[in-house]
Structure 1
Amino acid sequence: MEELEGKLEFFQFLKPYQLQHEELATLCEETTKCLEPLKCPAAQEAIDVFEAACKNWELANSELMPCMEHFYNALYYEKYRCAKDYDFLTKDLIKRREAFTYGQSCFQEIAQNECSETVSDYLKSPNYAKAVDVLCVNPNRTSCQSLFYELEGMQCKPMSEDVRSRMKKLSFQTVKRGDPELISLLQLCNYTKECLKTNCVFGEDEFKSLSSDCQLIELADTDFIECIQKLANEKPKNLSWLECFKDHDFSTKDEAAKCALFKEQKGCVKVAMKAFCGDGAVKDFDRDAELLRSTFLCQNA
């Protein structure tokens, strides 16, 4: 029993080909049979634990994880019409089970097209029921070492990748305040941040990184960025007495030069922005300038 417990504890860190399938399968079966005659609560609890662990191990070896990654990606990008009829992503585990139960044909249609033939065949009855149990039963562990938690976290991946993909197209020189695309991106970023926050598989660094992205998107919809755009486009001559207007061009595409504006020339830029755009543009200047500099302008400079 100790031998099985030790192996199962670490199975999820191994690649499928590293696992000794027959050995672990035999241990799972023999341990459960050994415990079955015992009627005490501790024995019954142990049976439940081992059955769940063995089920998780079996599913891990079925290539379920990459398949579910494709499945969640297909849901996010609405690639299949049938998926609109089932709430596969609900946090309500009872409703989620209903979605996977009544939407089995939809799930298997997606799996057949998006997953390997091996896992697609594996996820047909009765193995489908095992997968649904893993997806819909929270083991309530503090260690976060469970397929359930990994699969929960996987739901965040498509939207997280979408945020970063759309951010690459965001230009602070041309973005307009109130732009529907900008508002949509900000909503998505905040939704993704909440997804990461409520899933234990994501570390603090990943959450902080996405939070910075959201702050940067918020910054694009402020007087601060609008003023920078005006300075770059209009190049006011009445500010030519300022040093940052003599040697630096606000419309430059040179990364080092743009970085210098909000680093070495930061004080001068603040004076220029206040003089040209008013107090609103510099209300949170130090915070906004540091965010723009550290996360956008000076990464490669």
Structure 2
Amino acid sequence: MSILYVFTFLLIFPFCSGLRSCTTEEINNLVTNCSTYETKLSWIRKFEISTTEKLTKTRKLCLQASNCYTSIKCQESVEKFEKSRLDCDKDQFVIGGVPNCIEWFFKKIYNANYNECLLENDFLTFNLTTRREAFTFGKQCVLKVLNESQECDPEAVQFITENYLQIVDYLTIKSNDCQDVHSHYHKLHCDLIDDEYNKEYERLIWGDKKVEDTGLFMIQLGRELIECESHSCHNSGGIEIGNLKEEILAMEIYGRNYSWKCLYDIRRPSMKTLMEKLLCLRDSKLGDDQECRRKFVEKICGNGNATEGTETPMVTEYYTDD
């Protein structure tokens, strides 16, 4: 796609630096005709599920937008063309098989027994310098795992192979633009950890695994999720991070003695409202006080050995209704 764009750009606008400003009629043409394609592209990118069909649609619309912009030879059309080109170049990285394949690779890292080489490199560290080293020196491992995959689309694997350095840049160079490819990949990472965390919680509730084994793994995942969200521009207000910190704190305080009833009570919506009204957590300094948090958890969980039928103690001395 990018080669086609560059060729078209050079063919149509060989001396673009000296182009005149668009006339009123040409501006109207840009708004009336070309903007229609951009509107459709924006809607598809934002609302449609990431599939190969979605990528096909965006490619078609990108070509139509390109043809529209290049048919109007003036400065504003060149600027619109260039922006459209950059956005369309990113589509291949965030729509369809490529992001699905990267997400699949992330999942396999959490199941490192799948391939031993995944244990040798810290691919999902939040230190971007270390992560870049992992993907650089672990390139052979990454491509080996992807090529052996039955889930990854072969065309996506081929694209990743041919554009590996660009993929590594997107994975390891942070951007403040929430629509950027890096932010998209980072969100995939956070969503994956969140899914794993909630799966472990469900196993805990339904008794599919031992409480102590599940709890320890949840603490690990919870810490990773907190750090992941703290680096994400998609995290709004930090409310979910605050609630998650309370859950992890409860697990750390009670170690292997907490009950699933305690965790359930902390996770339920009424407890989230309660946390917002908790006196000693209102002040940011007190909110970081482990003793304050410990007392709060004790009020909810008791001695950590509550059974399924035990009523949850209410918070009184640390709570206000105002």
> Per the alignment, in what secondary structure is the counterpart of residue 106 of structure 2?
helix
Query: Match of 1:109?
Result: 144
Question: Alpha-carbon deviation of 1:182?
Answer: 5.6
Instruction: From the superposition, tell whether residues 62 and 184 of structure 1 become closer, same or farther in structure 2 (CA, over 3 Å).
Output: closer
User: Retained in 2: the 8 A contact 1:193–1:210?
Assistant: yes
Question: Alpha-carbon deviation of 1:94?
Answer: 5.3
Q: In the alignment, is residue 156 of structure 1 matched against residue 156 of structure 2?
A: no
Instruction: From the superposition, tell whether residues 8 and 148 of structure 1 become closer, same or farther in structure 2 (CA, over 3 Å).
Output: farther
Instruction: From the superposition, tell whether residues 110 and 166 of structure 1 become closer, same or farther in structure 2 (CA, over 3 Å).
Output: same
Q: In the alignment, is residue 77 of structure 1 matched against residue 111 of structure 2?
A: yes
Structure 1 residues 189-200: aligned runs within 5 Å: 189-200=222-233
> Per the alignment, in what secondary structure is the counterpart of residue 89 of structure 1?
coil
User: Retained in 2: the 8 A contact 1:76–1:158?
Assistant: no
Query: Match of 2:63?
Result: 26
Query: What is the root-mean-square deviation in Å for CA atoms of aligned residues?
Result: 4.8
CA distance, structure 2, for counterparts of residue 197 and residue 153 of structure 1: 11
Q: Which amino acid in the other structure matches residue 289 of structure 1?
A: K
- Per the normalisation by structure 1, the TM-score is 0.56
Question: Alpha-carbon deviation of 1:156?
Answer: 3.0
CA distance, structure 2, for counterparts of residue 184 and residue 124 of structure 1: 32
Q: Which amino acid in the other structure matches residue 188 of structure 2?
A: M
CA distance, structure 1, for counterparts of residue 169 and residue 179 of structure 2: 16
Instruction: From the superposition, tell whether residues 59 and 68 of structure 1 become closer, same or farther in structure 2 (CA, over 3 Å).
Output: same
Structure 1 residues 280-291: aligned runs within 5 Å: 287-290=297-300
CA distance, structure 2, for counterparts of residue 151 and residue 27 of structure 1: 28
> Per the alignment, in what secondary structure is the counterpart of residue 123 of structure 1?
helix
* Cα deviation code 1:153-179 (max 9, x no counterpart): 2223444344444454489xx97xxx8
CA distance, structure 2, for counterparts of residue 22 and residue 154 of structure 1: 23
User: Retained in 2: the 8 A contact 1:153–1:201?
Assistant: yes
Instruction: From the superposition, tell whether residues 189 and 140 of structure 1 become closer, same or farther in structure 2 (CA, over 3 Å).
Output: closer
> Per the alignment, in what secondary structure is the counterpart of residue 222 of structure 2?
helix
Q: Which amino acid in the other structure matches residue 195 of structure 1?
A: C
Instruction: From the superposition, tell whether residues 286 and 160 of structure 1 become closer, same or farther in structure 2 (CA, over 3 Å).
Output: closer
* Cα deviation code 1:20-65 (max 9, x no counterpart): 2443231465488689997x9xx77983x44432122123333222
Instruction: From the superposition, tell whether residues 13 and 98 of structure 1 become closer, same or farther in structure 2 (CA, over 3 Å).
Output: farther
Query: Match of 1:134?
Result: 170
CA distance, structure 2, for counterparts of residue 187 and residue 220 of structure 1: 15
Instruction: From the superposition, tell whether residues 291 and 30 of structure 1 become closer, same or farther in structure 2 (CA, over 3 Å).
Output: farther
**Structure showing greater relative contact order (alpha-carbon pairs closer than 8 Å, 6 or more residues apart):** 1
Question: Alpha-carbon deviation of 1:152?
Answer: 0.7
Could you tell me the percent identity over the aligned residues? 18
* Cα deviation code 1:85-140 (max 9, x no counterpart): 44432445455445434433322222233433344444354344443343344342
Structure 1 residues 240-255: aligned runs within 5 Å: none
Q: Which amino acid in the other structure matches residue 140 of structure 2?
A: S
Instruction: From the superposition, tell whether residues 139 and 163 of structure 1 become closer, same or farther in structure 2 (CA, over 3 Å).
Output: closer
Q: Which amino acid in the other structure matches residue 298 of structure 2?
A: D
Consecutive unaligned residues of structure 1, counting only runs of 5 or more, are 230-252, 260-282
Question: Which ranges of 4 or more aligned residues in structure 1 deviate by more than 6 Å?
Answer: 31-38, 43-46, 298-301
- Per the normalisation by structure 2, the TM-score is 0.54
Consecutive unaligned residues of structure 2, counting only runs of 5 or more, are 1-33, 266-292, 313-322
Structure 1 residues 36-47: aligned runs within 5 Å: 47=82
> Per the alignment, in what secondary structure is the counterpart of residue 232 of structure 2?
coil
User: Retained in 1: the 8 A contact 2:97–2:153?
Assistant: no
User: Retained in 1: the 8 A contact 2:190–2:228?
Assistant: yes
